[in-house]
Amino acid sequence: MVQHRMVDVNGIRLHIAEEGRGPLVVLLHGFPESWHSWQHQFGPLAAAGFHVVAPDQRGYGSSDHPEDVEAYSIFHLVGDVVGLIRELGAEQAFVVGHDWGAPVAWHTALFRPDLVRGVAGLSVPPPFRGAQPPLETMDRRFGGRFYWNYFNRPGVADAEFARDPRATLRKFFTMASGDGVGTGEVRQPLVDPERGWLASMPDPQTLPRWFTEADLDALTESFSHGFTGALNWYRNLDRNWELTAPWQGAVVTPPALYVYGDRDVVPAFPGTPELIERLPVLMPNLVREPLKLAGCGHWTQQERPDEVNAALLDFLKSLS
């Protein structure tokens, strides 16, 4: 059974869910998610002999929500993972991330390869620092309409999403699902800054087949503190670009796995398809070709738990 507790790491308190005993596997969720997004991974990984731990990351759920925007830099986020590994008494860990959790996992492996036995990313590929700040780049490319730039406006998306958190999450999870509304051509996530993002999203009559009302209940409860902490991650994108200048040209060296869906908008971001194609050349320790899941949208481990679990178990067992 999954157990829950609070732990003190890196100057804050994190809520963690955990199950099993053995080598440590840290599962890092993305936006707008919580530890619950890994519910289908706990049992199989724990049964295979792993200690599975999924935190609510800072700014989410029952974990602390620092007020300072700068408290959500990539160094703070990686620091939380490093502190969690040490707090749990492990010398090393496997680190797995989805969506925003993937950059945290990749950067943990980049900054502290001594602590990472293996790293896996779902949806978001490994970090290769671009030539220009990302918010500035997307602002110029899409005239300020890219969702990162909308999220960067203080208080705006916060207020829009908090008016009806349950409807917000229902729309997000359906819109980005592989079997949700409008599953045709994958389009860039652009926002009318005057109308907001939710106005352009259909409000589904039924949820995707893999996402239940109970899932939506749990997720809605986790955002009872609002969305500001989660959105502050995006508000550090350009700052993270500045902070990671010393790693320009560096690559992730621990053994790595990358999994994504062919209906996921993130791997379709400008320049990302070309990056994914070159990953086997760019990353010498990628254990296999990137695994593309046909018909899968953004919520990789929730939409395709059996395939994700099989890939993760193959990866983890090969390194244990």
Catalytic residue among 51, 65, 107, 298: 298
pLDDT value of residue 301: 98
List alpha helices for 112-184, DSSP H. Answer: 134-142, 147-151, 156-162, 165-175
d(CA 317, CA 170): 36
Phi first, then psi: what are they for 93, rounded to 5°? -150, 155
Label residue 95 left, alpha or beta by phi (over 0 means left) and psi (-120 to 50 means alpha): beta
Give the up-direction half-sphere exposure of residue 105: CA atoms within 13 A in the CB hemisphere: 33
DSSP state of 153: S
- Strand order of the β-sheet with 51-55 is 3-9, 12-19, 51-55, 24-28, 93-98, 116-122, 256-261, 291-293
pLDDT by residue (tens digit) across 292-302? 999 999 999 99
For the question of residue 99 being annotated catalytic, the response is yes
CB atoms within 10 A of CB 4: 11
| Cβ-contact 211, 181 below 8 angstroms | no
| Cβ-contact 59, 28 below 8 angstroms | no
CB atoms within 10 A of CB 290: 18
- The pLDDT mean for the chain works out to 96
d(CA 109, CA 254): 7
Per-residue pLDDT of the chain (320 residues; tens, 9 = 90+): 999 999 999 999 999 999 999 999 999 999 999 999 999 999 999 999 999 999 999 999 999 999 999 999 999 999 999 999 999 999 999 999 999 999 999 999 999 999 999 999 999 999 999 999 999 999 999 999 999 999 999 999 999 999 999 999 999 999 999 986 454 566 889 999 889 999 989 888 899 999 999 999 999 999 999 999 999 999 999 999 999 999 999 999 999 999 999 999 999 999 999 999 999 999 989 999 999 999 999 999 999 999 999 999 999 999 98
pLDDT by residue (tens digit) across 250-286? 999 999 999 999 999 999 999 999 999 999 999 989 9
d(CA 89, CA 315): 23
pLDDT value of residue 193: 86
In this structure, the strands spanning 12-19 and 51-55 are: antiparallel
Catalytic residue among 99, 107, 215, 264: 99
Closest listed residue to residue 240, CA positions, set 86, 129, 143, 140: 129
For the question of residue 314 being annotated catalytic, the response is no
